[in-house]
Chain A
């Protein structure tokens, strides 16, 4: 199971947060801060797994992250997920964003948090991996956007 997905930038500013277990808002912020603290002090050429974010879960949980330019994508997962699999999934997610936003950059995430959420919803649902095929994800996202557009033009 995936317990949380966090996206924040090099300064620790959250760009998207998605918890699959309830935490109060202040706790969520604390988790973001702690995770940022753990992740940001690591070099880019060290491994992408981290044990012991004490706030989320216990020893069974791992932080798996990728660093792209100005953004960190962090998944907090338990031992039922394959480490390398989740790394691939992050890659799929980012590539999907790239396709949907056409050369995605941090600004896209800043101004379209809702859209990023909708894309993520097609990849992960309730903490479980829903779809890993990028074409399928993009197709579903686009169909929904088209629906939204047709509703807007009806008005």
Chain B
């Protein structure tokens, strides 16, 4: 043995360690890959050895190789081996490797559960720390489910180092296993006030992450955070909290009002830029949420804008960037205050830093008005010319278009100018955004009727000079513009001056080099132009021009008939035949113009992009129903009844009919090929574009060569600047006229004719140059108003949208927080003698956040609250009627309990099932461990009940005393010397709106029966005027489940246990369970503290142990919607009760 160890360490001396590996790789620069592959071979050898040190060294090297991009998942099992080493050094290596390369798909993760559980409860805090760190990177839903309890315990660990890690990792656990959020939340909340700042910061961190996704559930924490904000000095915590408030304020404007002052103070006082910046951001968020109907906060806005200006002017580029970023948020609601800093922002456009330029561009978007649009765009156009690098230029281009087209072209006063801007943009070489320009052209031409004449003329010029756009490069995005140009010229051809010329331009041979979809538009619109030409020459007998046009088409179209693109081919041949036919008619002197025009009659209206989606499905139409009966046959092998089959796998059954197997396809393809080969009429594939030129009738067309030496100057194109000047002149003129009119008006004192009465520079005064009629997009009649297309159904955070304030009966059985939620209510609208069902009160208290906020004195109470209360009362009364029957029952019950009906003012009592979810869980587990060593079995029957006291009233509560009427079986543990009926003092007082947790230990004799204990809480309510003594009754429900502890069990031990024959059986059937099997298992594990031993398909064995050592084994099977549970336990009555409780859990879902 000793020899072996010596030999092992000698071997190790020759092994490469990480440093050797790195050095080796650096020395083999030429053949790195080869060197590494030999290293990997060595590592594989090392992993085969028994020595854990060698293995750990190998795993460490693998972690390095993983960074270089090598897949090391093949060593996953070895990593697990190293993780489970008892030495911290190796364990750490193993966990590091696991955190770098494990993920949800890694199957060995299943094996780690028990190892991690062991490490989590290790006496060495660093073992625990390393396990937590590793777990945070590779936690899976299964791990989260199985370890949630253990991590939860660690949240109350004595060492802050562990506490903060445990708190942080809970967020990951919530993400993977959302059901754990509700039970864990009270403790998480408690950690917000942990004495250690690191733990506190971690808790803030987690709650901020949670609240960011579903802020409304965390509004109730606002007072607590407010307190933290005003007391904390840790900038990290402050930043997080302030960010969180930014997310909460949109939901609760009153919170915003409350925040403004402390935030403003912070802005003035702090020296930390990061904190200042976040404060400004949150103030902005507050101002945005307040912007409607609130007295103006112009001072705060001014402060923000002023601070941001300082940031933007700072020489630090980071501050400049952030300043611009925050400025853009203000812009949305307070554009005026930002617009005054236009100079600064335009200046940023010249910055050398692209990030800053892009931010400035974003700001410009919101700063335009009718007045300055043309000026700003002109400036941007200058930048477009200067810009080097296509990405920034493309960004400029899209921004120009965004700016101009925003809110339905709101700021454009002169569409001729806009069209010419678009035409100028087409000169950009190599831009990707041809389609964007094209769609703008189409949009404007279609929706602004007055501009069509001008647009068509421009487009005609564009088509005529198409060669300038297409250039040499084939994949030039800008040629998309021609698509728009051709369509506009065709569709609105009545505006064309010389349709014949445009037609000729559209049928040039060079067109054949354009992308297929553009050619198709060309061909189709050539036909429209043809119709226009014919109509122009309508009535002229033997019109030469009309016949020439037909001839032109007949000459040129064959080029397109040969196109490789099917769409082009089809359209061209249709139109060619049509024209040939028309030519024949023309030769016979038949009037055709009218009939040809009729082909393209009617106007095309723009349709809104979402219109199709909004068409409501007519009543009685089932889109999922088969139109024809699905062909039956070949399904006979399926044993399942047909209904089930169709319901569960409709996709599968449908696709089966369309799928033809590969062989069959190949055979058919072959047959078709041969057919084609022997068919003389079939045109074989790929006529290349060169070939096109050989087409008959092309040679004799004179192709005018245009000198391309000055490509940017498109002849005859208007310059947008021209329009800018014209527009300015026009406005001047208008202004002058208006002044004249005004004078006249004054003289004549007749003001009715003019509506605008503001100063001459105001926005409204700038009238558009044309009578612009922007056609709105069509929507179907009775369109559905719903518009939530933007939500991502796959967002993992959606599952965490849990209303934490709501009472859910399910969580009664939750394992860890055994919470008794006592809500103390003392509001005037609870009259003295009324007795309420506990849940109703809670529901009422929590019914809406708004109402609750009214009740908390923390928020300034609005005047309307009185009204609300009245309304509540009404609701209450209605509820009461409904519950009359139950009330009766309550009263009786009360009688038994000692006539508490007569207790004085404002007492709120609850009977009936409490939201008690209790167990001895985690904290107990630790006790069990300790006592095991001491051999003291008595204390194994201890149960810890955590109680959360929440003060819902607006008075201060103090001197709380907790007492429970002991039964023979269960007793509250009281301090030594105390009498059997003495109360325990709750070690804290409760200010309004605050909650806190206290724990009480119970000793339990027999655990085979569930039981309920009656208890009373007495307390003093202290308000400004008086203090009164009050009490609250409750019941603690100890379920049998709460005596079970999740205990892992290996399958061999499990088998032995079953074989031993000591266990007695029982079984349970659950019908109509409609959930996936793994959910079902998770539910049993979670609510009833079982762990899965083994799972095969739809059958699983589970195990749990009671605190007194009873074994409970379950065999869960499912088929269809029936679940059968066969159970064995050495204590039949315990088993019976547990099964009853399981049944109850599932009856609730």
Contacts and interface: CB of A to CB of B under 8 A. Distances in A.
Contact of A148 (B88, B100, B133, B164): B88
Interface string A79-119: 01011110110000000000000000000001111100110
B63 interface: yes
Contact of B88 (A24, A48, A147): A147
Given A130-B165, A151-B89, A47 B318 contact: yes
B137 A117 contact: no
A60 B358 CA distance: 16
B168 interface: yes
B317 interface: yes
B206 A28 contact: no
Interface stretch (B349-357, B668-676, B745-753, B876-884): B349-357
Given A1-B209, A80-B212, A125-B133, A111 B171 contact: no
Contact of A126 (B71, B137, B358): B137
Contacts of B205: 128-129
B224 interface: no
B63 A113 contact: yes
B67 A111 contact: no
B355 A50 contact: yes
A25 B318 contact: no
A88 B234 CA distance: 14
B561 interface: no
A46 interface: yes
B901 to A, nearest CB: 52
Interface stretch (B272-280, B853-861, B1105-1113): B272-280
Interface string B260-288: 00000000000001100110000000000
B60 interface: yes
A80 B277 contact: no
A131 interface: yes
A110 B22 contact: yes
Nearest to A46: B353
A128 B206 contact: yes
B274 A85 contact: yes
Contact of A125 (B68, B87, B168, B208): B168
Given A82-B274, A151-B88, A129 B318 contact: no
Interface in B205-250: 205-206, 208-209, 212, 235-236, 239, 243
A130 B88 contact: no
B165 A46 contact: no
Contacts of B126: 143-144, 147
B161 interface: yes
Nearest to A110: B22
A22 B103 contact: yes
B70 interface: yes
A54 interface: no
Nearest to A88: B274
B132 interface: yes
B277 A114 contact: no
A140 interface: yes
B93 interface: yes
A82 B63 contact: no
Nearest to B133: A121
B35 to A, nearest CB: 16
Nearest to B87: A151
Interface string B198-209: 100110011011
Contact of B67 (A16, A82, A144, A147): A16
Interface in B132-161: 132-133, 136-137, 161
B793 interface: no
A136 B161 CA distance: 10
Contacts of A43: 352-353
- By size class, the interface of chain A is 35 or more
Contacts of B165: 125, 130
Given A111-B18, A126-B169, A46 B71 contact: no
A140 B161 contact: yes
Given A85-B239, A118-B96, A129-B205, A49 B103 contact: no
B620 interface: no
A82 B276 CA distance: 11
A14 interface: yes
Contacts of B133: 121, 125-126
A47 B317 contact: yes
Count chain B CB atoms within 10 A of each CB in A47, A50, A128 and give the residue with the most: A47
B64 interface: yes
A82 B975 CA distance: 49
A52 B355 CA distance: 10
B1079 to A, nearest CB: 23
A99 B172 CA distance: 31
Interface in B623-650: none
Contacts of B71: 24-25
A15 to B, nearest CB: 8
Contacts of A84: 273-274, 277, 318, 322
A45 B198 contact: no
B67 A125 contact: no
A46 B355 contact: yes
A132 B272 CA distance: 15
A1 B69 CA distance: 24
Nearest to B23: A111
Nearest to A107: B22
Contacts of A87: 274, 318
A134 interface: no
A14 B239 contact: no
A118 to B, nearest CB: 7
Most buried by B among A132, A140, A143: A132
B546 to A, nearest CB: 55
B243 A113 contact: no
Contact of A114 (B18, B168, B202, B353): B18
B318 A80 contact: no
B70 A25 contact: yes
Contacts of A118: 92, 96
Contacts of A147: 88-89, 124, 126
A129 B89 contact: no
Contacts of A18: 100
B321 A47 contact: yes
A82 B87 contact: no
Interface in A38-97: 43, 45-51, 80, 82-85, 87-88
Given A14-B67, A82-B243, A131-B198, A51 B274 contact: no
A10 interface: no
B168 A49 contact: no
Contacts of A50: 355
B88 A136 contact: no
Contacts of B278: 82
B355 A51 contact: yes
Interface string B78-119: 000000000111001100100010011000000000000000
A20 B96 CA distance: 13
A43 to B, nearest CB: 7
Given A125-B132, A128-B206, A14 B68 contact: yes
A35 to B, nearest CB: 14
B164 A130 contact: yes
B352 A46 contact: yes
A28 B69 contact: yes
Interface in B39-96: 60, 63-64, 66-71, 87-89, 92-93, 96
B288 to A, nearest CB: 16
A4 B1007 CA distance: 50
A114 to B, nearest CB: 6
B277 A82 contact: yes
| A-B pairs, 4 with minimum CB distance | A126-B136, A84-B274, A47-B317, A22-B103
17 contacts: A14-B68, A20-B137, A24-B71, A25-B66, A43-B352, A45-B317, A46-B353, A47-B318, A47-B356, A80-B208, A80-B209, A84-B322, A111-B18, A117-B63, A125-B169, A128-B168, A132-B201
Given A82-B278, A125-B165, A151-B88, 6 more contacts: A22-B103, A49-B322, A80-B243, A83-B322, A111-B19, A126-B171
